Amino acid sequence: MNDKPVVPINCLFQGCYNPAFEAEISKCKDKCYKYNQLNPNDREAQRRILAELLGQMGENVIFTPPFWCDYGYNISVGDYFYSNHNLIITDGARVTFGNHVFIAPNCCFTTAEHPVDPEQRKAGLEIAKPITVGDNVWIGAGTTVLAGVTIGDNSIIGAGSVVSKSIPANVVAVGVPCRVMREITEADKYRYPLYQGN
Protein backbone atom coordinates (compact mmCIF):
# COMPACT_ATOMS: atom_id res chain seq x y z
CA MET A 1 0.00 0.00 0.00
CA ASN A 2 1.30 3.46 -0.93
CA ASP A 3 1.23 5.73 2.14
CA LYS A 4 3.06 8.64 0.49
CA PRO A 5 1.14 11.93 0.34
CA VAL A 6 -0.09 12.79 -3.15
CA VAL A 7 0.77 16.21 -4.56
CA PRO A 8 -2.18 17.53 -6.59
CA ILE A 9 -1.22 18.47 -10.15
CA ASN A 10 -2.04 21.83 -11.78
CA CYS A 11 -4.00 23.25 -8.84
CA LEU A 12 -3.14 25.13 -5.65
CA PHE A 13 -2.42 22.98 -2.60
CA GLN A 14 -0.89 23.39 0.84
CA GLY A 15 2.72 22.66 -0.10
CA CYS A 16 4.56 24.67 2.55
CA TYR A 17 4.03 24.17 6.28
CA ASN A 18 2.64 20.70 5.53
CA PRO A 19 4.08 18.03 7.85
CA ALA A 20 3.32 15.12 5.48
CA PHE A 21 5.24 16.68 2.57
CA GLU A 22 8.01 17.95 4.84
CA ALA A 23 8.56 14.40 6.15
CA GLU A 24 8.88 13.01 2.61
CA ILE A 25 11.29 15.76 1.60
CA SER A 26 13.38 15.12 4.72
CA LYS A 27 13.68 11.41 3.88
CA CYS A 28 14.69 12.28 0.33
CA LYS A 29 17.33 14.76 1.50
CA ASP A 30 18.88 12.05 3.70
CA LYS A 31 19.23 9.79 0.64
CA CYS A 32 20.67 12.61 -1.47
CA TYR A 33 23.15 13.43 1.28
CA LYS A 34 24.32 9.80 1.43
CA TYR A 35 24.61 9.74 -2.35
CA ASN A 36 26.67 12.92 -2.41
CA GLN A 37 29.09 11.58 0.23
CA LEU A 38 30.03 8.56 -1.88
CA ASN A 39 33.25 8.34 -3.83
CA PRO A 40 32.19 9.82 -7.21
CA ASN A 41 33.65 6.75 -8.96
CA ASP A 42 31.70 4.22 -6.87
CA ARG A 43 29.06 3.49 -9.51
CA GLU A 44 27.76 0.37 -7.76
CA ALA A 45 26.95 2.18 -4.51
CA GLN A 46 25.50 5.11 -6.46
CA ARG A 47 23.20 2.80 -8.39
CA ARG A 48 21.94 1.17 -5.17
CA ILE A 49 20.92 4.54 -3.72
CA LEU A 50 19.44 5.77 -7.02
CA ALA A 51 17.35 2.58 -7.30
CA GLU A 52 15.91 3.35 -3.86
CA LEU A 53 15.57 7.09 -4.51
CA LEU A 54 14.09 7.35 -8.02
CA GLY A 55 10.64 6.28 -9.17
CA GLN A 56 12.01 4.57 -12.28
CA MET A 57 15.52 4.13 -13.64
CA GLY A 58 16.83 2.62 -16.87
CA GLU A 59 20.22 1.14 -17.70
CA ASN A 60 23.52 3.04 -17.64
CA VAL A 61 22.28 5.96 -15.54
CA ILE A 62 24.78 8.45 -14.09
CA PHE A 63 24.03 11.38 -11.80
CA THR A 64 27.38 13.05 -11.15
CA PRO A 65 27.35 14.28 -7.55
CA PRO A 66 26.24 16.51 -6.05
CA PHE A 67 22.61 15.81 -6.96
CA TRP A 68 19.57 17.04 -5.04
CA CYS A 69 15.84 16.43 -5.39
CA ASP A 70 12.75 16.83 -3.19
CA TYR A 71 10.92 13.50 -3.33
CA GLY A 72 12.86 11.31 -5.77
CA TYR A 73 10.03 8.91 -6.47
CA ASN A 74 8.45 11.40 -8.89
CA ILE A 75 11.53 11.18 -11.17
CA SER A 76 11.64 8.72 -14.07
CA VAL A 77 14.88 8.28 -16.03
CA GLY A 78 15.38 6.27 -19.24
CA ASP A 79 18.44 4.38 -20.50
CA TYR A 80 21.84 6.04 -20.99
CA PHE A 81 21.02 9.09 -18.90
CA TYR A 82 23.91 11.34 -17.88
CA SER A 83 23.84 14.44 -15.70
CA ASN A 84 26.93 16.41 -14.78
CA HIS A 85 27.62 18.12 -11.42
CA ASN A 86 24.99 20.10 -9.49
CA LEU A 87 21.71 18.87 -10.94
CA ILE A 88 18.68 19.99 -8.90
CA ILE A 89 15.20 18.57 -9.49
CA THR A 90 12.29 19.87 -7.41
CA ASP A 91 9.92 17.03 -8.20
CA GLY A 92 6.62 17.85 -6.56
CA ALA A 93 5.08 16.71 -9.85
CA ARG A 94 6.37 14.03 -12.21
CA VAL A 95 9.69 14.68 -13.99
CA THR A 96 10.28 12.28 -16.88
CA PHE A 97 13.50 11.92 -18.87
CA GLY A 98 13.69 9.75 -22.00
CA ASN A 99 16.62 7.69 -23.27
CA HIS A 100 20.04 9.16 -24.11
CA VAL A 101 19.51 12.45 -22.26
CA PHE A 102 22.62 14.54 -21.49
CA ILE A 103 22.46 17.28 -18.85
CA ALA A 104 25.41 19.66 -18.43
CA PRO A 105 26.54 21.12 -15.05
CA ASN A 106 24.48 23.43 -12.85
CA CYS A 107 21.01 22.71 -14.24
CA CYS A 108 17.68 22.96 -12.44
CA PHE A 109 14.32 21.34 -13.24
CA THR A 110 11.55 22.73 -11.06
CA THR A 111 7.92 21.59 -11.12
CA ALA A 112 6.94 24.10 -8.42
CA GLU A 113 5.20 27.41 -8.92
CA HIS A 114 3.92 29.78 -6.26
CA PRO A 115 0.84 32.01 -6.40
CA VAL A 116 1.01 35.54 -7.75
CA ASP A 117 -1.35 36.59 -4.95
CA PRO A 118 0.84 37.47 -1.93
CA GLU A 119 -1.67 36.24 0.67
CA GLN A 120 -1.87 32.79 -0.96
CA ARG A 121 1.91 32.70 -1.23
CA LYS A 122 2.33 33.72 2.43
CA ALA A 123 -0.10 30.95 3.42
CA GLY A 124 2.21 28.37 1.82
CA LEU A 125 0.07 27.49 -1.19
CA GLU A 126 1.83 26.28 -4.30
CA ILE A 127 1.19 24.46 -7.56
CA ALA A 128 3.06 21.56 -9.19
CA LYS A 129 3.21 20.93 -12.94
CA PRO A 130 5.00 17.99 -14.60
CA ILE A 131 8.11 18.28 -16.77
CA THR A 132 8.81 15.90 -19.67
CA VAL A 133 12.11 15.59 -21.56
CA GLY A 134 12.13 13.37 -24.66
CA ASP A 135 14.77 11.01 -26.07
CA ASN A 136 18.19 12.20 -27.28
CA VAL A 137 17.95 15.63 -25.63
CA TRP A 138 20.99 17.70 -24.61
CA ILE A 139 20.52 20.38 -21.95
CA GLY A 140 23.32 22.98 -21.86
CA ALA A 141 25.13 24.20 -18.74
CA GLY A 142 23.30 26.47 -16.34
CA THR A 143 19.84 25.84 -17.81
CA THR A 144 16.64 26.14 -15.78
CA VAL A 145 13.55 24.22 -16.94
CA LEU A 146 10.32 25.48 -15.39
CA ALA A 147 7.07 23.80 -14.38
CA GLY A 148 4.81 22.37 -17.07
CA VAL A 149 7.44 22.28 -19.82
CA THR A 150 7.90 19.51 -22.41
CA ILE A 151 11.11 19.29 -24.47
CA GLY A 152 10.74 17.22 -27.64
CA ASP A 153 12.97 14.40 -28.89
CA ASN A 154 16.44 15.20 -30.27
CA SER A 155 16.37 18.86 -29.26
CA ILE A 156 19.22 20.91 -27.77
CA ILE A 157 18.76 23.60 -25.14
CA GLY A 158 21.63 26.10 -25.20
CA ALA A 159 23.63 26.99 -22.09
CA GLY A 160 22.13 29.51 -19.70
CA SER A 161 18.59 29.14 -21.01
CA VAL A 162 15.40 29.56 -18.99
CA VAL A 163 12.83 27.21 -20.51
CA SER A 164 9.42 28.60 -19.59
CA LYS A 165 7.43 27.18 -22.54
CA SER A 166 7.50 23.81 -24.27
CA ILE A 167 10.10 23.22 -27.00
CA PRO A 168 9.30 21.03 -30.04
CA ALA A 169 11.35 18.07 -31.28
CA ASN A 170 14.43 18.36 -33.53
CA VAL A 171 15.40 21.97 -32.79
CA VAL A 172 18.13 24.06 -31.20
CA ALA A 173 16.64 26.49 -28.68
CA VAL A 174 18.39 29.02 -26.44
CA GLY A 175 17.88 32.17 -24.43
CA VAL A 176 16.01 33.87 -21.62
CA PRO A 177 13.26 33.07 -22.25
CA CYS A 178 14.30 30.05 -24.32
CA ARG A 179 13.26 30.28 -28.00
CA VAL A 180 13.71 28.03 -31.00
CA MET A 181 16.69 29.21 -33.08
CA ARG A 182 16.62 26.63 -35.86
CA GLU A 183 15.82 23.05 -36.80
CA ILE A 184 18.42 20.29 -36.56
CA THR A 185 19.22 19.18 -40.12
CA GLU A 186 21.23 16.56 -42.00
CA ALA A 187 24.00 19.17 -42.39
CA ASP A 188 24.61 18.97 -38.62
CA LYS A 189 26.16 15.53 -39.15
CA TYR A 190 29.06 17.35 -40.83
CA ARG A 191 29.33 20.29 -38.42
CA TYR A 192 32.58 19.02 -36.86
CA PRO A 193 35.49 17.15 -38.48
CA LEU A 194 35.72 13.47 -37.55
CA TYR A 195 38.90 12.51 -35.73
CA GLN A 196 40.92 10.15 -37.94
CA GLY A 197 43.59 9.17 -35.42
CA ASN A 198 44.31 5.69 -34.00
Which of the residues are catalytic?
A: 114
Q: Three-class SS of residue 124?
A: coil
CB atoms within 10 A of CB 177: 11
Q: Rounded to whole angstroms, what are the CA distances from 172 to 46, 78, 86, 168?
A: 32, 22, 23, 9
Would you mind telling me the total number of residues written for the chain in this entry?
Answer: 198
What's the distance, CA 155 to chain centroid? 15
Give the alpha-carbon dihedral of 111, 165, 158, 53, to 10 degrees. 20
Q: Are the CB atoms for 74 and 95 separated by under 8 Å?
A: yes
184, HSE (Cβ side, Cα atoms, 13 Å): 16
Q: Three-class SS of residue 101?
A: coil
Q: Three-class SS of residue 114?
A: coil
Per the DSSP assignment, residues forming a β-bridge with 167 are 151
